[in-house]
Amino acid sequence: MVSSLLIALAASSYAAAQSFVSDPLIDKVVPYTAIPYQVDHHTADRGPQAGYNICNSTTEGQTSMCQTAYVNHLDDFCLFAPPKEATIGETEGIEVAWCTKPGRGTRLIPEGTFTGLQLVKSPGYIQIVGFIDQTKLNIPDGDYGGELDSGGQDGRGNPIGGLVYSNDLPGSTGNDSFVQSRHWTFFIGGDQFCLKVCDSTNPEAGHLCEHIYDRIGCAYNAPNTAQNNVFEACEGEDMMPVGTYVENGQTLTWTQPPEGVAPTPPYTPTPASSSNCVTYSSNALFSQLATVGISGSQAAPTSGATGAAGASGSGARLGVSGTSSADGAASTNGANAMGVSLIAGISGVVFSALFFA
């Protein structure tokens, strides 16, 4: 009784606080050659866009407020992370782009941030999953983070006005040809991240990069076989749309319950099949990051580089399945040692629900 009342109150205050804009970010077609200074022009509720979308040599560096990101290749992508040390929940609307390559007006990801990465390119999207030292990205040790995406509670995106481009989605004609992804989703926290940028011309883009499963983390939103201490790029099939699963030959859809009700998906996600994986050494991938220092505003890292994700050892998989009892069932995918990282992932999204409510 008491708890359902609290839920009702929370839901109504949430609805009253932020109205959904009439021009959501997901509908804004912004050619790479016509990026405006800021793509978001709203000021009400959450305030104006914190950074900008035109990024160049004058904005480049560790104080950049660039909010235009790229997801190209294993050696060439960006994450969104806080501009100064704070949790993802506190800064979801104002995250900025941190990238692996200089020359695009953004911050650079400090050397040693990644301890394992897996990129899977499928017909419908590019997915990258990684193990990170999140303290190098202004995210406090122990923050289990949450979801950022091109939707958001008011349609303005998280970060507000965040744009994402790729030179490896359909429509690109080469490395200098960038196409916009309007459907993307990104979880970061618990020393892990997963991102998926969907081909906006694909009719399934909205389902493959679904925005409504923000409390069930990478395991469900980006099922994968990433391993700590391995850097690899693969090809793969498209996953089943987030939330869907097959039971007794029928495709069923599970929907995340409202805030305040624990999300308990009735299925264990299975990574889509992947092939042609090529492994790399991180030194070869990220030689240009060698000189990037830790940004001035953040505290020194307090613990080992790998944290929760690394604690389960080099065989750890990132959030492949929902419960440890599912290990056996998932082991055909090599997913047999993901207990610790999974707990981080699930508690992460539960923690984040408090901030995101």
Ligand X SMILES: *[C@@H]1O[C@H](CO)[C@@H](O)[C@H](O)[C@H]1NC(C)=O
Binding residues for ligand X (CB under 6 A): 37, 52, 54, 56, 58-59, 72-73, 75-76, 175
In the chain the beta strands, taken as DSSP E runs, fall at 68-73, 76-81, 96-99, 107-108, 114-121, 125-132, 146-149, 163-166, 179-181, 183-189, 192-198, 231-236, 244-247, 250-253, 274-280
Token digits of residue 49:
């866009």
Closer CB to ligand X, 99 or 353, in the complex: 99
The sheet carrying 274-280 orders its strands as: 146-149, 183-189, 192-198, 125-132, 114-121, 231-236, 274-280
Q: How far is the CB of 273 from ligand X (least distance, A)?
A: 24
Look-up of token digits 């400090």: 110
Look-up of token digits 């100064």: 84
Closer CB to ligand X, 78 or 353, in the complex: 78
Closer CB to ligand X, 76 or 133, in the complex: 76
Token digits of residue 225:
């076989």
Q: Which residues pair with 76 in a beta bridge?
A: 73
Q: How far is the CB of 200 from ligand X (least distance, A)?
A: 21
Closer CB to ligand X, 75 or 111, in the complex: 75
Q: How far is the CB of 59 from ligand X (least distance, A)?
A: 5
Question: Could you tell me which of 84, 77, 51 has the C-alpha nearest to residue 158?
Answer: 51
Q: How far is the CB of 234 from ligand X (least distance, A)?
A: 15
Instruction: Report how far apart the first and last C-alpha atoms of the chain are (Å, whole number).
Output: 20
Token digits of residue 257:
């319950």
Closer CB to ligand X, 64 or 306, in the complex: 64
d(CA 108, CA 113): 11
Cβ(73)–Cβ(87) under 8 Å? Answer: no
Closer CB to ligand X, 80 or 187, in the complex: 80
The alpha-helical segments, DSSP class H, found in the chain are 2-17, 88-91, 205-208, 217-221, 282-285, 307-311, 327-330, 339-356
Whole-number Cα distances in Å, 327 to 52, 268, 341, 344: 44, 10, 13, 16
Q: How far is the CB of 54 from ligand X (least distance, A)?
A: 4
Closer CB to ligand X, 285 or 294, in the complex: 285
Q: How far is the CB of 348 from ligand X (least distance, A)?
A: 30
Q: How far is the CB of 57 from ligand X (least distance, A)?
A: 8
Closer CB to ligand X, 146 or 157, in the complex: 157
Q: How far is the CB of 141 from ligand X (least distance, A)?
A: 31
Q: Which residues pair with 80 in a beta bridge?
A: 97
